[in-house]
Structure 1
Amino acid sequence: MGNTAPAENGNNTMKKKSSGLFPVSPYMVIPSRVGGFALYLKQGEEFVLYAERGVLFTDEHRERLTKLDVKHVYIKAEDYAFYNTYLHDNLLELLDDEIIPVRERARAWNDATVSLAKDAFDKKLPATMDKRQFIRIRKLINSSLRFLAREDSLRELARFIADGSELYRHGIGVMVMTISVLSSYVKDDSDLMVAVGMGALLHDIGKLELPDHLFSRRGDSLSMDEQGLIRSHPALGVGVCSSLPLPQETLQCILFHHECNDGTGYPSGAQGDMLPSYVKVLSLCNEYDNLTRGLHGRKKLTPFEALTRIKNRRGCFDKEMLARLIAILSKAKLT
Structure 2
Amino acid sequence: MGSTASADNGGPNAKQKKRARLFKVSPYMVIPSRVGGFSLFLKQGEGYVLYAEKGELFTDAHKERLGELDVEHLYVKAEDYPQYAVYVQDHLEEVLGDEAIPVRERARAWNDATVSLAKESFDRSLPKSMDKRRFGKIRSLISHSLKFLARDDALKELSRFISEGNELFRHGIGVMVLTVSVLNTFVKDDADLLVAVGMGAMLHDIGKLELPEALFTRRWDGLTQIEQDMARSHPALGVGLCSSLPLPQETLQCILFHHELEDGSGYPSGASGDLLPSYAKVLSLCNEYDNLTRGGKGKKKLTPFEALTRIKSRRGAFNAEMLKRLIAVLSKAELA
TM-score, scaled to structure 1 = 0.61
RMSD (Å), alpha carbons: 5.0
Relative distance call for 1:51 and 1:168 in structure 2 (3 A) is closer
Contact 2:38/2:54, CA 8 A, preserved across alignment: no
Count of paired positions: 261
Which whole-Å CA distance do the structure 1 matches of 2:321 and 2:260 have between them? 16
Distance 2:85 2:176 in 1: 13
Q: Which residue of structure 1 aligns with residue 235 of structure 2?
A: 234
State the shift of 1:221 in Å: 0.8
The letter for the 2-side match of 1:328 is V
Contact kept, 8 Å, 1:142 with 1:194, in 2: the verdict is: no
**CA distance in structure 2 between the partners assigned to 1:247 and 1:194 by the alignment:** 9
AA aligned to 1:151 is M
Shift of 1:55: 2.8
Shift of 1:143: 8.2
Task: Give distance in 1, aligned partners of 2:283 and 2:104.
Answer: 25
Q: Cα offset for 1:172?
A: 1.3
Residue 36 of structure 1 aligns to which amino acid in structure 2?
P
Aligned to 1:314, the other structure's residue is in SS state coil
Equivalent-residue separation in structure 1 for 2:296 and 2:29 (angstroms): 40
8 Å CA contact 2:282, 2:322 repeated in 1: yes
Counterpart-to-counterpart distance in 1, 2:5 and 2:177: 41
SS at match of 2:43: coil
Map residues 21-60 of structure 1 onto 2, 5 A cutoff: 27=17, 31=22, 33=24, 36=27, 52=41, 54-55=42-43
State the shift of 1:236 in Å.
0.3
CA distance in 2, matches of 1:296, 1:254: 23
Quote how far apart the aligned CAs of 1:30 are. Answer: 6.4
- 1:269 and 1:31 mapped to 2: Cα distance? 52
Q: Distance in 1 between matches of 2:178 and 2:281?
A: 13
Q: Which consecutive unaligned segments of at least 5 residues does structure 1 have?
A: 6-25, 40-46, 62-71, 82-88, 95-99, 126-130, 158-163
Moved more, 287-296 or 262-271: 287-296
Quote how far apart the aligned CAs of 1:303 are.
Answer: 0.7
1:222-271 deviation line (CA, Å, top 9, x unaligned): 11000000000000001111210110000000001000011110001111
Q: Distance in 2 between matches of 1:303 and 1:133?
A: 38
Counterpart check, 1:151 vs 2:135: no
Kindly indicate whether the alpha-carbon contact (under 8 Å) linking 1:32 and 1:56 is maintained by their aligned counterparts in 2.
Answer: no
Cα distance, 1:185 vs. partner? 1.4
Which segments of 5 or more consecutive residues in structure 2 lack a partner in the other structure?
Answer: 7-15, 31-35, 64-71, 139-164
Distance 1:284 1:49 in 2: 39
Question: Any residues of structure 2 matched to 1:1-335 within 5 Å, and which?
Answer: 2-3=3-4, 27=17, 31=22, 33=24, 36=27, 52=41, 54-55=42-43, 76=57, 151-152=130-131, 166-295=167-296, 297-331=298-332
Q: CA 1:138/1:36 → structure 2, altered by over 3 Å: closer, same or farther?
A: closer
* CA 1:327–1:231: 2 relative to 1, 3 Å: same
